[in-house]
Structure formats: C-alpha cells, structure tokens
C-alpha cells in the first residue's frame, strides 16, 4: 500500500520523481491518482493514513513521507482478506497497530478526539489479537477494526520513538516492522512513563487491568507489563540477535533524524536512543 501511495503521488506530481524528495512533509500540489486501498494485514492502517514509508536501500534507512494528498479515496477493510496471514505475521502486524495506538495516545500532539479513537483501539487490540493469531473470526474482525480505528487517530497526531527506532531496525537488519515495534514498545514506554501524566492508567484499564488502589508507579508498571505479556503471548521475541554494538551510533543517529522522533512525549537525544537500542541485546 505504501509503495502504491508513493507511485500515485509521483504520477500526479512528476517533479517529485525521486521518491527521496518526498521525505517529511512533502509540498505536493496535486492529489494522488484515484486509489482503492485493500489491506491484507491488520497493522499499518496505511489505507487510512496520511503517511507512507519507503526504504532507501542505498543509505540503509527508511523514511516517512507525510502528505494529505496521499490518503486513499476508498478503503476496503475486510477481515477475510487477512485470514490467510500466518500466526507470526498476524502477531507482528497486530503489535504494530498496538504501537500506533499507544504512541498516538501519548504523543505530544494528542488531543481528545484522537484519544477516544486510540483508547478504543487499545481495547480492541488487547481483546482480539490473541484470537486473531488463532485465526478465530471474532479476533480477525476485532483486529481489522482496531488497526483502522487507530489509523484514523495516529494519522492526525503522530507517533514517537518506538516508531523511529523500528524504522531504523527495519532498514538496517530487515527486521519486520511489527516485530521491531513490538520489541521497542515496552522499552520506550518505560523511558517515556514520567512524561505521560495519567495516560498509562487509561492504557492499563483499556488492556483489561483493574487499577483500583494503584498509585502512579503501580499503574504505569501495570500498563507496561500488560503490553509485555501480550507480546510474549503472541510469540514476539524480546531480543534482537542481529544487533551489534558497532552499529549503535548509526542506529541512534538515524532514529533521531526520523520524522516520528519530535512527537515523542519525552525529549530525547542520540545517547538515550543508543541506550534504548542496547536493551534489545
Ligand atoms: N503508511 C503508514 O502509515 C504505515 C504505518 C505503519 C507501518 N508502515 C509500513 O508498512 C510496512 C509493513 O507493512 P505490513 O506490516 O502490512 O507488512 P508487508 O506489507 O510488508 O507484508 C509482510 C509480508 O506478509 C505478506 N502478506 C501480506 N498479507 C498477507 C496475507 N493476508 N496472507 C499471507 N501473507 C501476507 C506480504 O506478501 C509480505 O511478504 C513497513 O514498511 C512499515 O514501515 C506504514
Ligand atoms: Fe507502524
């Protein structure tokens, strides 16, 4: 879908023939070609979002293009299209959607309308991802809906450094996007917790935790634990074997330059990002 979005933009805006010129907020003049987007995974919500992500294989980086002209005219979100996904792909793409919802709920630009959608999406994903991985109809339906609901929200408010770091891991080690998001999400939640006021209480509750009597430290930990448990339950690894100490400078600098980085609720720096990557080793 992202490749299709880039091609559609370039067809109608040929002055951007080098896709690299579209990185960040792209000043295109014309809408894309008429586009019908049909997701076959329940994760990216690219059928609804303002973004597309392209890999620059020469420079070993993935970059995000942000452009209102690229939103598809029609989205056909049908869980039947997703039913052929194997377990691992269902799990990783579903964790991508959870990362959108949690990063979108806590990002700097978050506001009430997007919050409603992101919280509902967290609830839908927490309730349905395990069932989807078992290829149950209700689980597939809940995930098709959940990923789309957060797509409508995060597309308007942005994300955070779990995505910056996931883009970098995808470009350097070819780590599937959802696996990279799932591995980074609890690590980044721990790092961001102090800048999220009471939002982790809402996240914990949306994930089914009873937070009655919990103080701030306890509900923040409960939200992180619930994310870790879901990730482990659906079979996502917690360590990245490919990661090398000598790659950390490039990884951290690349993640710091990523378009999702400024939206992170906690101000970050290259050194902090290096330490966060190190937690995957
Ligand atoms: N546009 C956005 O807003 C946005 C948001 C998040 C991620 N992304 C980007 O999306 C990309 C990842 O997309 P994805 O997670 O959908 O995976 P994908 O499109 O890369 O597909 C992964 C693999 O699964 C296969 N596959 C897809 N659907 C299948 C099905 N129903 N049955 C069996 N196999 C199937 C594909 O052929 C491919 O080999 C990354 O580049 C990521 O950065 C974009
Ligand atoms: Fe994503």
- The secondary structure of 141-197, three-state, reads HHHHHHHHHHHHHHHHHCCCHHHHHHHHHHHHHCCCHHHHHHHHHHHHHHHHHHHCC
Q: Quote the CA–CA distance of 202 and 155 in Å, as a whole number.
A: 21
211-224 average pLDDT score? 98
The pTM score is: 0.97
Query: Where along the chain do the CATH 1.20.1090.10 domains lie?
Result: 86-278
Q: What is the pLDDT of residue 104?
A: 98
- Contact indicator for 77, 47 with CB cutoff of 8 Å: yes
Q: Residue 196's pLDDT band (boundaries 50, 70, 90)?
A: very high
Look at ligand 1, atom 37, and give the residue with the nearest C-alpha. Answer: 40
Q: Quote the CA–CA distance of 165 and 254 in Å, as a whole number.
A: 8
H helices, E strands: number in the chain: 10, 5
| Structural Rg of the chain based on CA atoms | 18
**Diameter of the chain measured on Cα atoms:** 59
Q: Give the pLDDT confidence of 48-62 residue by residue, as tens digits.
A: 999 999 999 999 999
Query: Where along the chain do the CATH 3.40.50.1970 domains lie?
Result: 2-75
CATH topology of domain 86-278: Dehydroquinate synthase-like, alpha domain (1.20.1090)
76-100 average pLDDT score? 98
User: Atom of ligand 1 at shortest distance to CA of 167?
Assistant: 43
Look at ligand 1, atom 38, and give the residue with the nearest C-alpha. Answer: 89
Look at ligand 1, atom 8, and give the residue with the nearest C-alpha. Answer: 44
User: Is the CB of residue 46 below 6 angstroms from any atom belonging to ligand 1?
Assistant: yes
Q: Quote the CA–CA distance of 211 and 88 in Å, as a whole number.
A: 31
Query: What is the whole-number distance in angstroms between the Cα of residue 210 and the centre of ligand 1?
Result: 34
Q: What is the pLDDT of residue 55?
A: 95
Q: Give the pLDDT confidence of 108-163 residue by residue, as tens digits.
A: 999 999 999 999 999 999 999 999 999 999 999 999 999 999 999 999 999 999 99
Q: What is the residue-wise DSSP string for 78-131?
A: -GGGGTT--HHHHHHHHHHHHHHHHHHHHSTT--HHHHHHHHHHHHHHHHHHHH
Query: What is the whole-number distance in angstroms between the Cα of residue 271 and the centre of ligand 1?
Result: 30
User: Is the CB of residue 44 below 6 angstroms from any atom belonging to ligand 1?
Assistant: yes
Residue 197, C-beta contacts closer than 8 angstroms, at least 6 positions apart: none
CATH number of 2-75: 3.40.50.1970
- The percent of residues above 70 in pLDDT, for the chain, comes to 100
Q: What is the residue-wise DSSP string for 3-18?
A: HHHHHHHHHH-GGG-S
Q: What is the pLDDT of residue 159?
A: 97
User: Atom of ligand 1 at shortest distance to CA of 96?
Assistant: 6
CB atoms closer than 10 angstroms to residue 34:
9
Residue 153, C-beta contacts closer than 8 angstroms, at least 6 positions apart: 100, 101, 104, 113, 114, 115, 116, 117, 118, 121
- Contact indicator for 76, 182 with CB cutoff of 8 Å: no
234-249 average pLDDT score? 96
Q: What is the pLDDT of residue 24?
A: 93
Q: In terms of pLDDT, which residue wins out, 26 or 72?
A: 72
CB atoms closer than 10 angstroms to residue 73:
11
Q: Ligand 1: which of 9, 40, 47 to mutate, judged by most atoms within 8 Å of the beta carbon?
A: 40
Bridge partner residues of 66 (DSSP): 25, 51
């Amino acid at each position: 879908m992202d490749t299709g979005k880039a091609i559609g933009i370039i067809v109608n805006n040929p002055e951007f023939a080098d896709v690299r010129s579209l990185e960040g907020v792209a000043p295109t003049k014309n809408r894309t070609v008429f586009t019908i987007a049909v997701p076959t995974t329940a994760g990216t919500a690219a059928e609804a979002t303002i973004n597309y992500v392209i890999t620059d294989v020469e420079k070993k980086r993935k970059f995000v293009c942000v452009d209102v002209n690229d939103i598809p005219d029609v989205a056909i979100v049908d869980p039947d299209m997703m039913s052929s996904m194997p377990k691992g792909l269902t799990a990783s793409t579903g964790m991508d959607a959870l990362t959108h919802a949690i990063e979108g709920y806590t990002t700097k630009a978050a506001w009430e309308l997007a919050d409603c959608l992101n919280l509902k999406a967290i609830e839908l994903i927490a309730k349905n991802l395990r069932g989807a991985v078992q290829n149950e109809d209700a689980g597939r339906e809940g995930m098709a809906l959940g990923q789309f609901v957060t797509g409508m929200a995060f597309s308007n408010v942005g994300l955070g450094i779990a995505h910056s770091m996931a883009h970098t891991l995808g470009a350097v080690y070819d780590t599937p996007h959802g696996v990279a998001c799932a591995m980074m999400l609890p690590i980044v939640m721990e790092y961001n917790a102090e800048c999220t006021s009471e939002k982790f209480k809402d996240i914990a509750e949306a994930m089914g935790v009873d937070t009655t009597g919990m103080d701030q430290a306890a509900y923040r930990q409960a939200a992180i634990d619930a994310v870790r448990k879901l990730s482990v339950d659906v079979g996502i690894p917690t360590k990245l074997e490919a990661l090398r100490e000598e790659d950390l400078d490039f990884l951290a600098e690349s993640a710091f330059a990523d378009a999702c980085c400024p939206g992170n609720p906690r101000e970050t720096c290259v050194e902090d990002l290096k330490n966060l990557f190190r937690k995957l080793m």
